[in-house]
Amino acid sequence: MTATHISCSGSKVPQQLQTEVTNEVAKTENNEKPKPAARSGIRNYGDVITKEAISDEGLFTIHKVGDKYYYEIPDSLLQRDFLWISRFANLPSGLGNGYVNAGSSVNEQMVVWQKFENKIVLKTKSYNAFAADSLPISLSVQANNYQPTLYAFDIAALSKDSAGFVIDVTKFLTSDIKAFSGLDAEMRKNYKVSKLDESRSFIYSAKSFPLNLEVKQDFTYDAAEPPSNSATGSISLMMNQSMVLLPKVPMQPRLNDYRVGYFNIRQIDYGSEALKADEKSYIRRWRLEPKDVEAYKRGELVEPVKPIVYYLDPATPVKLRPYIKAGVEQWNKAFETAGFKNAILAKDPPSPAEDPDFNPEDVRYSVIRYVASTTRNAVGPSVSDPRSGEIIESDIIWYHNHLRSYRNRYLLETGAANPNARTLDTPLDDLGEMMLEVITHEVGHALGLPHNMKASAAYPTDSLRSGKFTQEYGIAATIMDYARYHYVAQPGDKNIRFVRQLGPYDHYAINWGYRFLPDAKSAEAEVPTLSKWINEKSANPIYQFGSGSGGYDPESQTEGIGADVIKSSTYGLANLKKVAPKLYDWTASKTNDYDDLDELYGELLGVWSRYIGHVVTNVGGVHENRLKPDQAGFIYTPVAARTQAASLDWLLKNAFTSPEWLNQTNISRNIHHASYVENIRSLQVRHLNNLLSPDRMARLMENEVNNVNYNALDMVRQLQRGIWSEVYSGAKIDIYRRNLQKAYLDRMHHLLNEEPPRSRSSYGTPVEISQSDIRSIVWGELVKLQRQLKSAQSRYANDLSRYHVDDALVRIDKILNPVKS
């Protein structure tokens, strides 16, 4: 709060909402103004809100009197629906193991303010269970879904005009209320949090805007094991509590269809005519309505009544602003497919003279925030109405260091074929293009679109080597895939686009979610048209959606491009083998420093690992094609047997052989005294254990009933013979292979003798190991390996290979005959 009276009465509010708020404040819900009365505890207004009060007018008027905070709530806003969002404003390093950042949402809930006798009550309100008020069953829904009371306030005074109530919110805003806290139960347990230290906790600021309240709380907790600054025994964080007034009349929702990717909200409709409660899902989207409905019907491009507007953060570097604005407005191409022109706009931050009321915390303004942080990330969150899915507001967050990640991957993944990438000083136009596309991706999230990981498999791998194709269609069918760079193109390929771009799926999805259907007066009435659009394009892979969850569909993976993952990874690996010998020349030799070389070499190992992981998914893989019963085909189809076998053969040659090409002496001897062998072991073992995971073996076992001629036994036999190929040939076993073979035995011990979590793996593929074929296969193949090792002993001299074989035999004996404690 500032030290002067702050008034929002002159704020520029959208006319419709301004009128709504003005009309609502002018009357009460029951057309009766509360009458002043000499009730116990209710004081005169002037005795509570004294002349010393610092007041901020807006949705509620916030008063600060000394060290106390008061809300003055218009009677007309009782029983209205509000959305309450709790976010981290500032937090200590390491909180949540680094998976949460400033701006991360902790909780979203709908709330309502109610009057009960001499109290104002704040309650949660849920639309998860729903029935129209006109239906008798709505009474039962209310009775059987009674919502918690979050807080009860004594009425301190009536408003001057008796059209509202004053409550003291000081204790409420300085208390550790679980519904609004940033520390969940797991964090409190992990960090051994005992209590909120009220002596070190306070209200940092409280602001009122025409449609929202924003409060920041500076909280310190006593914690025996905090994530950082352990000597303090404390966790300090700043929480931002936002309360947003929702429209009095919700937008007409659009029913979700899982064949098109949209974030969604879920409701259980007890008023359905079905013989059970009907679960409904509505997509999250902005309210876009054409100014001229008749022109829109004629197929003309029409501006929306209220466009989507993003303002740039005043802290944004001037040289980057054109790229950010272009990234936002690139979506206009897709909105034109949906019949709208100028649907989304990006604007520079207004000066105080242009808009004295501009404030990024005001829900009327969506802002692309430029955050001074070493975090390498960007996020596109949004706030939506839980009743209809209408997106109310969105703040895109760009972290300052994020471009460093893109520069590194640009160099590593495209450097073999792209001269512009072979430097630490990436040209500004290239960096700007990367930033533009990242912003477009994050705005896509804020428009309601989740990741579509299936889109990167829509294009044939060899088509990606065509400059004409990539310039027109990009490297994936959507900007919403994690297909950031073109690693397939080879040296000599001409006119290649190396960075992702908006694709045909984006036009399709925006049209499906945002096209205005004026003749459909309900969500249900829209369904025939929406389904028709999907069915018309269902056979084309460009328009398919896959979330990438589950880890079983090789066509729906992160960071991949091209339909043939074996061919794509082969191309990618060939490029990486050209980049590795040049890495020193492109970094340390130019900077006279090894820091960038160390960082990039570590990321190069990650890129290699990623290409391997793409091929691993083929083994035990299952293609998912989202279909409805009126469409031909199956949703789940196992990967062809020959493809699974070929994938494992590729892995044995490219992942599990000794990767001498990675041992660049001018790198490994300059960045660490001894880490190369261990780095290779760690990466190889990760993929070995992934292949021999219970969930993958369960899918391979199921191939037997799906008439796929490649099962878990085939996979283990092929893998074991490849991993132990030296034992069959008599070749010397080098250090990488010795490490890998020991890891193989450790994994077999794990599968045979350890008890993993019952029934389901982390991927959700059901398997009960002790009652499946997994242990039978492991036992049988280990016995075979034991015999082979014994026969090979005599072929090895008294060296490390012989010692390794002897050790392996002892290990296998202990695995097959464990000592019971």
pLDDT digits (tens, 9 = 90+) for 500-548: 999 999 999 999 999 999 999 999 999 999 999 999 999 999 999 998 8
Q: Looking at the 3D structure of the chain, how many domains does it have?
A: 3
- Which of these ranges, 274-288, 642-656, 748-762, has the smallest mean pLDDT? 748-762
Domain final position from 586, 602, 629: 586
pLDDT class of 601 with cuts at 50, 70, 90: very high
Does residue 602 belong to any structural domain of this protein?
A: no
Largest CA distance in the chain: 103
CA-to-CA separations, 717 to 158, 711, 738, in angstroms, rounded: 81, 10, 19
Residue 509 phi/psi, 5-degree rounding, is -70, -40
384 in any annotated domain? yes
Residue 594: inside a domain: no
| Mean confidence (pLDDT) of the chain | 88
Statement: residue 17 has pLDDT above 80: no
Question: Does residue 413 fall inside a structural domain?
Answer: yes
Q: How confident is the model at residue 18 (pLDDT cuts 50, 70, 90)?
A: very low
| Residue percentage of the chain with pLDDT more than 90 | 72
pLDDT score of 1 more than 60: no
Q: How confident is the model at residue 145 (pLDDT cuts 50, 70, 90)?
A: low
Same domain, 763 and 720: yes
pLDDT category, 19, cuts 50, 70, 90?
A: very low
In-domain check, residue 280:
no
Residue 373: the pLDDT is 64
pLDDT of residue 228: 87
How confident is the model at residue 125, as a pLDDT? 87
Tell me if 603 is assigned to some domain. no
225-234's contacts with Cβ under 8 Å and 24+ in sequence apart are 225/190, 225/191, 225/192, 226/92, 226/191, 227/92, 227/93, 227/94, 227/95, 227/96, 227/97, 227/191, 228/92, 228/93, 228/94, 228/95, 229/92, 234/197, 234/200
44 shares its domain with 166: yes
- From 429, 382, 119, 407, select the one nearest 262 (Cα to Cα): 382
If asked whether residues 576 and 662 sit together in one domain, one would say no
Q: Return d(Cα 95, Cα 317) in angstroms, integer.
A: 29
The residue out of 213, 245, 277 marking a domain boundary is: 245
Q: How far apart are CA 193 and CA 184, in angstroms?
A: 10
| Residue 441: Cβ within 10 Å count | 22
Query: Does residue 118 lie within any of the structural domains?
Result: yes
Instruction: Say what the pLDDT of residue 128 is.
Output: 60
DSSP percent split of the chain into helix, strand, coil, nearest 5: 40, 20, 40
Indicate whether 338 and 225 sit together in one domain: no
Domain-ending residue, one of 519, 551, 586: 586
743-778 residue pLDDT tens: 999 999 999 998 765 544 444 688 889 899 999 999
In angstroms, the CA 124 to CA 141 distance is 15
Instruction: Summarize pLDDT for 40-93 with one digit per residue, the tens.
Output: 679 999 999 999 999 999 999 999 999 999 999 999 999 999 999 998 888 888
Is 60 exceeded by the pLDDT of residue 650? yes
User: What is the Cα–Cα distance from 625 to 12, expressed in whole angstroms?
Assistant: 48
Q: Are residues 432 and 565 in the same domain?
A: yes
pLDDT digit string, tens, across residues 216-267: 999 999 999 998 888 899 999 999 999 999 999 999 999 999 999 999 998 7
**619 and 563, same structural domain?**
no
579 and 445: one domain?
A: yes
Query: What would the 3-class secondary structure string for 455-493 be?
Result: HHHCCCHHHHHCHHHHHHHCCCCCCCCCCCECCCCCCCC
* % of the chain surpassing 70 pLDDT: 89
Residues 156 and 171: their CA atoms lie apart, in Å, by 14
Q: Are 576 and 615 in a shared domain?
A: no
Which residue reads 């512009």 in tokens?
420
Predicted local confidence at residue 355, as pLDDT: 86
Q: Are 242 and 363 in contact (CB under 8 A)?
A: yes
pLDDT average, residue stretch 393-418 = 88
- The sign of the torsion formed by the CA atoms of 95, 100, 101, 102 equals negative
Q: 568 is written with which tokens?
A: 């794509």
Q: Does residue 230 sit in the same domain as residue 332?
A: no
Expressed as residue numbers, the domain containing 443 is 293-527+535-586
Are residues 574 and 639 part of one domain? Answer: no
pTM of the model: 0.87
pLDDT per residue as tens digits for the range 153-202? 999 999 999 899 999 999 999 999 988 998 988 899 999 999 999 999 99
Q: Above 90 in pLDDT, residue 362?
A: no
384 lies in the same domain as 315: yes
84 DSSP β-pair partners:
109, 243
- 479 and 616: one domain? no
DSSP structural state of residue 198? G
Q: Is residue 251 part of a domain?
A: no
Let me know if 492 is exposed, middle or buried by CB neighbors in 10 A (0-12, 13-18, 19+): exposed
